[in-house]
Amino acid sequence: MQFKDYYKTLGVEPTASDAEIKAAYRRLARKYHPDVSKEAGAEEKFKAVNEAYEVLKDHGKRNAYDQLKAGGYRGGEDFRPPPGWGDQGGFEYNVGNGGFSDFFESLFGGQRARPGRGAPPPPKTERRAKLELDLEVVFSGGKQRIEVDGRTLEVKIPAGVQSGQQIRLAGQGGHGRDLLLEVVYRPHPKFEVDGQTITHRLAVMPWQAALGGTVSVPTLAGTVDLRIPPDSDTGKRLRLRERGLPSTSSGGVAGDQIVILEVHVPAPKGERQREVYREMAAAFSEPPTVR
């Protein structure tokens, strides 16, 4: 087993602030997300980034990890947990598709009794972990396989489950304990979430914003047509009703999707397109006003 340099994985210094670590994680999670990345090995890099963030975002796990690094461990070197490491107590951690590495499990996967060290402490009534979900899974619900301590479990995901909600798996936490999973949304390359509301930023051409028209817009249920009214501008908000996350309550109404327009001006290619811009400059001689 090799020691992992989590700071190097996120591309930050060991002195990085919580905000810097979070920003680096968001950038890399979007870069290597399997739904958008075409890079070789993107899925493994995505898992490595999630694992590094799981440690460095948590002050308890980060402090414990920093103590190991201070002992001279370096990334890629052979590693075994120091004697007595497991006596410091268990940690909460995220679970999801593929689980975490053996290195992570050896540090934060909980305590195990070892020969000659006496009986383990009395088991708790429940074990807690975080369950990271893609928005597509949150939207549709269904079943998802997860790995916990080398075991594969199947979890029923209610459609519209909110970030922070908990799912209890009776007797699945080991030693007769329940496993309590706290739902966490993974960053999405196209959507942002606020409660049941989904937000998408849509790039449009200047003539689409000025003249209006119909464009295709992604939603969690698939692509739909959206009408852009004439004389639109960057920042205009359009609403797709009940295209957000579904309600978890019986008979509840789904949230909306908000589409925020961003007008993009294409660079001219060739003399003909430059001539069009010169004609526009002559036709629109007055400077733009802030709306």
User: Which is higher by pLDDT, 1 or 131?
Assistant: 131
Q: What is the mean pLDDT of the chain?
A: 84
> Does this model's pTM top 0.85?
no
CATH 2.40.30.10, domain 192-283, yes or no: no
User: Which is higher by pLDDT, 58 or 139?
Assistant: 139
pLDDT score at 94: 60
* Ranges of each domain in the chain: 6-185, 192-283
Closest by alpha carbon to 191, among 241, 245, 140? 245
**pLDDT tens track for 262-283:** 999 999 999 999 999 999 888 8
pLDDT score at 83: 62
CA separation for the pair 1, 39 (Å, rounded):
26
**pLDDT tens track for 76-121:** 788 777 665 554 445 555 655 446 788 887 777 654 434 444 444 4
Candidates 3.30.420.40, 1.10.287.110, 3.20.20.100, 3.10.450.50; CATH matching 6-185: 1.10.287.110
Q: Could you give the percent of the chain with pLDDT greater than 90?
A: 49
Backbone angles phi, psi at 14, to 5 degrees: -60, -20
User: Which is higher by pLDDT, 285 or 258?
Assistant: 258
Indicate whether 238 pLDDT > 80: yes
User: Which is higher by pLDDT, 212 or 79?
Assistant: 212
pLDDT score at 258: 98
Asked if residues 161 and 248 have their Cβ atoms less than 8 Å apart, the reply is: yes
CA separation for the pair 206, 266 (Å, rounded):
9
pLDDT score at 113: 37
pLDDT score at 267: 93
What residues form DSSP beta bridges with 179?
127, 169
Indicate whether 134 pLDDT > 70: yes
